[in-house]
């Protein structure tokens, strides 16, 4: 599990992104900052493999809180602690279907690489490069999906719309739901968030995390 966990964990170096000579791609990353995701996506790219493996092996959800043990030390991560650590907004939409309808039509035109609108289900090749990158970031870094990333689902389209048009989203809640599903026994949710979880673990008193390793910055440009 450890190798797949690390391979599904991604770090974005925002400083290097802003050196790109592509205004549209830079603008897309600026939208991620505006929506409140910079600290989560760009947190220190350090992980502790043994501690992560133990956390997931012993993890579960109790009363809405992620609980586990590492080296015999109790670990508890609440939604409020998770959101505060990364400065994630705790106000805004939690139901993706609540995005204003007029923005959906605008997004279908804006995203499309062709003259006609894309549907709310489409392939990445049908949309402009900056939105292909945004789709990949949502699938890989935020919701840690396994399998093919070419089809763009309705939920991902709605999130892309919300980010692009600066709709307020309760990212603290949405992403904490993902981490809770990760630690739920027998869940089909792929494991990830290695570097983010390690940031949280470093703040637990008395917890020894062991050897640390660096993770390379993700390349969404291949």
How is the chain split into domains, by residue range? 2-214
Cα–chain-centroid distance for residue 56? 18
- CB of 171 closer than 8 Å to CB of 141: no
Neighbours of 219 (CB within 10 A): 7
Mean pLDDT on 152-165:
94
- CB of 187 closer than 8 Å to CB of 205: no
Mean of all residue pLDDT scores within the chain: 89
Cα–chain-centroid distance for residue 180? 13
Cα separation, 156 vs 96, in Å, equals 9
Beta bridge partners of 65: 62
Mean pLDDT on 121-136:
92
Q: Which residue has the tokens 């996506």?
A: 41
What is the reported pLDDT for 6? 55
pLDDT at residue 139 greater than cutoff 70:
yes
What is the reported pLDDT for 91? 96
Work out the pLDDT band at 220, boundaries 50, 70, 90: very low
What is the reported pLDDT for 147? 64
pLDDT in tens, 1-60: 555 665 556 788 888 888 888 999 999 999 999 999 999 999 988 889 899 999 999 999
pLDDT at residue 151 greater than cutoff 90:
no
Q: Which residue has the tokens 């869940």?
A: 187
End-to-end C-alpha distance for the chain, whole angstroms:
25
List the alpha helices (DSSP H) in the chain.
Answer: 2-7, 14-17, 23-34, 38-41, 49-58, 79-85, 101-111, 129-136, 154-164, 171-183, 194-201
Mean pLDDT on 63-87:
96
Helix, strand, coil percentages for the chain (3-state, nearest 5)? 50, 10, 40
What is the reported pLDDT for 145? 78
What is the reported pLDDT for 3? 52
Half-sphere exposure of 114 (CA within 13 A, CB side): 9
pLDDT in tens, 89-108: 999 999 988 999 899 999 99
**5: nearest Cα among 189, 169, 167:** 189
């Amino acid at each position: 599990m450890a190798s797949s966990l690390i391979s599904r964990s991604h770090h974005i170096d925002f400083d290097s992104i802003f050196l790109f000579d592509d205004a549209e791609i830079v603008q897309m990353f600026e939208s991620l900052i505006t929506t409140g995701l910079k600290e989560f996506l760009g947190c220190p790219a350090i992980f502790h493999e043994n501690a992560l493996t133990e956390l997931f092996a012993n993890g579960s959800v109790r009363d809405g809180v992620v609980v586990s043990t590492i080296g015999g030390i109790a670990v508890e991560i609440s939604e409020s602690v998770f959101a505060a650590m990364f400065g994630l907004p705790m106000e805004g939409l939690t139901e993706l279907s609540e995005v204003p309808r007029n923005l959906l039509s605008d997004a279908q035109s804006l995203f499309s690489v062709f003259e006609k609108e894309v549907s709310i289900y489409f392939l990445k090749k049908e949309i402009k490069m900056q939105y292909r990158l945004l789709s990949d970031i949502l699938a890989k870094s935020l919701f840690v999906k396994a399998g093919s990333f070419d089809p763009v689902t309705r939920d991902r389209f709605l999130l892309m719309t919300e980010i692009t048009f600066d709709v307020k989203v309760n990212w603290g809640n949405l992403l904490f739901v993902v981490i809770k599903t990760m630690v739920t026994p027998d869940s089909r949710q792929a494991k990830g968030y290695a570097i983010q979880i390690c940031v949280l673990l470093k703040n637990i008193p008395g917890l020894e995390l062991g050897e640390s390793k660096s993770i390379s910055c993700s390349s969404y440009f291949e």
